[in-house]
A and B are shown apart, each in its own frame.
Chain A
Amino acid sequence: MSPTVKNTMLFAIVALLIALVGFMQSWNSALVIVNMGLISAIMALGVNLQWGFAGLFNVGIMGFVALGGLAAVLVGMPATPGAFEAGGWTILGAFGFAVVAIFAVVFVRARMAPGLARKLVVLGMLVAGFFVYRALFDPGVESVEAINPASTGYLGGLGFDEGLWVTLAWPVGGLFAAAAAWVIGKTALGLRSDYLAIATLGIAEIIIAVLKNEDWLSRGVKNVIGMPRPTPFEIELQNDPAFVERAAGLGFTAVEASTLYVKLLYAGLFLIVLLILLWMAQRALNSPWGRMMRAIRDNEVAAEAMGKDVTARHLQIFVLGSAICGIAGAMMTTLDGQLTPGTYQPLRFTFLVWVMVIVGGSGNNFGAVLGGFLIWFLWVQVEPMGLWLMELITSGMADGSPLKAHLIESAAHMRLFTMGLVLLLVLRFSPRGLIPER
C-alpha cells in the first residue's frame, strides 16, 4: 500500500467516525466535532511547526490560545462608552511610562561599569519605577471598572462586529501570541531544552492569571459574552420566511436547518484558514528554509558549524508556531461567542494538542491535521464510551451500592487517563506517529 493510499484511508476513517456520530447521535453534534476539530488541527499545525520542524518543546500553548481569545474581545467588542475618557488613557499612559522606565534601566545598566553601585542603582530604579507605575495605573483601573460593572466595567474593543470584519480578530490574535512568544523565546531559547518548557509553562499560567484578574481588560472571571460573530444568528434565520421555506423544501424544520446552516458557515470559514495555513506550512517544509530547520533539529552542532544562526532560527520558528496557536485561539473564542478565562485548563489546551501532534505524526503537517481531528473526536467521545463501559462493568452490582455510584460518577475522568495512555503507547510503539515524516 503506497503512503498516499494509506494516508487517504486514515483521513477517510476519521471522516467516517465523525459521520457515524452524525447518523447515531445528531448532525449538530457531528458538526460541533468538525468545527472544534478544524481549530484543533490548526493548533496542532502550530505545535508541529515548533516540535516537528525544529524540535522545540513548548508547553505554553494554553497561554497563546488565550491571547488569541483576548484579541477576539479587543477587536470585536464595542468600546465601552466613556471608558477611555474615564481611565483608558491613564492606563495606556502607565504602560507608556513602564516601557520608558524599562528602557531607561537597560540604558543605565549598559552605561555604568559593573559592580555594586550599578546593581544598587538598577534595583533602585526598578523599585521606584514600579511604585510610580502603580500610582499611575491604579486610579485608571478603578475608574474604568466603576463604569456599570454588572455589564461592562472594561475598556471594550474596537468594535469590528459587522459580518466578515469579525474575522479580523484572528490575525490580530496571531500577532498577540507572536509578541508573547518573542519575549519568552528571547529569554529561554539557547538554554537547555527543558528551560523553554518550564518558561512556557509559566507564561501560560501568567497569561491566564492576567485574564482572570484584570477586569478593566476583558472583565476577568465575569466573562465577556455575546461576542460578535461572522455568521447570521439562528433566530434571524428562523424569522426569515425565505430561509424557512427553503429548509422545508429540503425536509428540515426551521430550527434544525438554521443551527446546521450556521455551523456549516463556521466550518467553511475555518476550513479556509486551515487550508491556507496548511499550504503555507507545506511550502515551508519543502523549501530550503524547511530543510535548514530540520538540519538544525537533527544536529545543532553541525548546523552551527555550517554557519546557521541556530538561536535566531529557533526564535523565528517559535514565534511563527505560537502565532498559529494564537490564530486558532481567536477562532475558538469567536466560535464560542464568549471569553471565559476560568475554562482554560493546561491539560485541555496544552497537553491535548501535544497528543494530537505526536499521535498524528510529528514533522508531518498532514499528520498534525489528522491527529487534530482524531484526538478531538476521541476527547469528545471517550466520555460517553467510558460511561457505557462503566455501566457494563457495574451492571452486576447491586443498585445503590456506593462503589457502583462512585465508578459511574468518575467515568468522566477516564478521558485524561485514556489520553495519557494513547500518548505513551504511540511514543513507545510507533514514535513516528500515524503519518510519519517523509
Chain B
Amino acid sequence: MDFLNAFIALSNFVIIPAVAYGSQLALGALGVTLIYGILRFSNFAHGDTMAFGAMVTVLMTWFFQAQGVSLGPLPTALLALPFGILGCMLLVLVTDRAVYRFYRAQKAKPVIFVIVSLGVTFILNGIVRFIIGPDDQRFLDGERFIISARTFREMTGLREGLAFKTTQGITIVTAVVVVALLFWFLNRTRTGKSMRAYSDNEDLALLSGINPERVVMVTWLIVAALATTAGVLYGLDKSFKPFTYFQLLLPIFASAIVGGLGNPLGAIAGGFVIAFSEVTVTYAWKKVVTYIVPEEVAPSGLLQLLSTDYKFAVSFLILLIVLLFKPTGLFKGKAV
C-alpha cells in the first residue's frame, strides 16, 4: 500500500488536468450564461466565437514569433491575447449590429434567436476555416513544463512523476484572475450592477433609466473577452482546431445548465463538475488502485469506466440527470 504514490498519480492524471479543463469550461460557460441572462437566448455560436478569437490570437502569435518577440518562458500567445480579444469584440459587435439587433427590436421569441445564432455559427465556421484552414495549428512556445515528471521524481524520490504543464498553470492562474475581475465588475461597478438589474427584471431596469442597448453592448464585449480567453487557453492546452470548438458546445452548455443558466457562480461550479466527471469516468484507474490495495487483489483490467471517446456522453448524462431532477440547476438559475 502506497498512498503517497497513489495520490501523486491521481493528481498527475486526474486532478491537474481536470482543474485545467474545468477552468476552460467555466470560462466558456460564463460567456453562455451571461448571454442567456442578458439577451435571453442560448447562443449556439459561442463555440465558434471562441474559435474566432483564438484564431486571431494564433495569427498574432505567428506574427510576433516572426518578428522575434517572445515572453521568454511564457507562451507568446499571452502577448497576442489582447489583440485576439479586440478582434473578437469587433466581431461580436458587428454580428450584434447586423444580425441580433433586428430581432431584439422585434421582440422575437428565444427560439428564433437560437436559429439565428445557428446561422451565425455557419458563417463564423466558414470564416475561420477560410482564413486558417480546418487543420490542427500549433502556436505554443516557451517552456513546456513548470515541473516535469522526471524532475519531480528526482526531487522527491517517489516512483510516480508529477508533471505540471506551463499551459495548465497559465490556464488556472488566468481563470482565477478573469473570474475575480468579472465578479468585481458585476458586483462593484455601476455598469455591472445595471447588467444584473437588467438580467433580473427587464421592465424594472428600463423604468429606472438603464439604457438596454448599452447593457447589451457591454455584455457582448465581456463575452468576447471570456470566449477568446477560453478559446486560447484550450488551444494552448490541447491544440487549435476549428472543429473541436464546435464540439465544446455540448460540455459548455452542460456546465452552464448544471450550474443554473443565467447564474455566473453556477457556470463556474458547473464547469468543474463536468470536467471532473469527464476525467474521472474516462480515466483508467488501474495505476492508482494498484498502489492502494494489497498486492494479492491488484486489478488485472484497466478499470476504465468508459472509453475516452465517450466523454461527450458523460456531460450529456449529467445534463439529462439535472434536467430531470433539478431543471433550474444546482444554483437556481432562471425559471424554466
Contacts and interface: CB of A to CB of B under 8 A. Distances in A.
Interface stretch (A33-41, A194-202, A286-294): A194-202
A424 B114 contact: no
B133 to A, nearest CB: 7
A421 B123 contact: yes
Interface stretch (B183-191, B232-240, B304-312): B304-312
Interface in A415-437: 415-421, 423-424, 427-428
Interface string B110-136: 111011101111111111011101100
A193 B120 contact: no
Contacts of A191: 323, 327, 336
B99 A205 contact: no
A346 interface: yes
B313 interface: yes
Given A201-B249, A209-B309, A414-B130, A420 B111 contact: no
Contacts of B305: 130, 134
B177 to A, nearest CB: 29
A213 B308 CA distance: 10
Given A195-B257, A209-B310, A202 B250 contact: yes
A377 interface: no
Contacts of B44: 59, 197
Contacts of A194: 41-42, 110-111, 114
Given A199-B320, A209-B313, A413 B130 contact: yes
B336 A410 contact: no
Nearest to A186: B324
Interface of A: 55, 57, 59, 130, 134, 187-188, 191-195, 197-199, 201-203, 205-206, 209, 212-213, 346-347, 351, 354, 358, 409-410, 413-421, 423-424, 427-428
21 contacts: A187-B324, A193-B110, A193-B111, A194-B114, A198-B254, A202-B315, A205-B312, A206-B310, A206-B312, A213-B307, A213-B310, A347-B125, A354-B118, A415-B126, A417-B122, A417-B125, A417-B130, A421-B123, A423-B119, A424-B119, A428-B99
What are the nearest 9 A-B pairs in CB distance? A420-B122, A417-B126, A420-B123, A416-B126, A202-B316, A413-B129, A423-B119, A194-B42, A424-B119
B311 to A, nearest CB: 9
B265 to A, nearest CB: 20
Contacts of A346: 246
Given A201-B250, A209-B310, A420-B122, A192 B336 contact: yes
Contacts of A59: 44, 118
Contacts of A414: 126, 130
B319 interface: yes
B111 A57 contact: yes
A351 B309 contact: no
A421 B316 CA distance: 30
Contacts of B41: 194
Contacts of A198: 42, 250, 253-254, 257, 319
A201 B42 CA distance: 13
Contact of A424 (B111, B123, B315): B123
A59 B115 CA distance: 10
Interface residues of B, number: 47
A57 B315 contact: no
B247 interface: yes
Contacts of B130: 410, 413-414, 417
A354 B114 CA distance: 12
Given A193-B114, A427-B115, 8 more contacts: A192-B336, A193-B110, A195-B323, A197-B44, A199-B316, A212-B309, A413-B129, A413-B134
B3 interface: no
B102 interface: yes
Nearest to B308: A213
A424 B120 contact: yes
A188 B111 contact: no
B127 A417 contact: yes
Contacts of B112: 427
Contacts of B110: 192-194
Contact of B309 (A130, A197, A202, A213): A213
Contact of B111 (A55, A206, A209, A213): A55
Given A193-B110, A205-B250, A199 B319 contact: yes
B123 A417 contact: yes
B312 A424 contact: no
A205 B126 contact: no
A416 B125 CA distance: 7
A176 B116 CA distance: 30
A205 B247 contact: yes
A222 B126 CA distance: 29
A139 B242 CA distance: 38
A358 B122 CA distance: 15
Contacts of B327: 191, 195
Contact of B99 (A187, A347, A418, A424): A424
Q: Which of A55, A201, A420, A421 has the most CB of B within 10 A?
A: A420
A191 B111 CA distance: 13
Interface string B26-59: 0000000000000001101000000000000000
B250 A423 contact: no
Nearest to A417: B126
A427 B102 CA distance: 11
Contacts of A209: 309-310, 312-313
Contacts of B319: 198-199, 202
B323 A420 contact: no
Interface string B162-182: 000000000000000000000
A202 B111 contact: no
Contact of B323 (A193, A199, A351, A354): A199
Interface string B69-96: 0000000000000000000000000000
A341 to B, nearest CB: 11
A202 B292 CA distance: 36
Contacts of B123: 416-417, 420-421, 424
Nearest to A358: B115
Contacts of B42: 194, 197-198
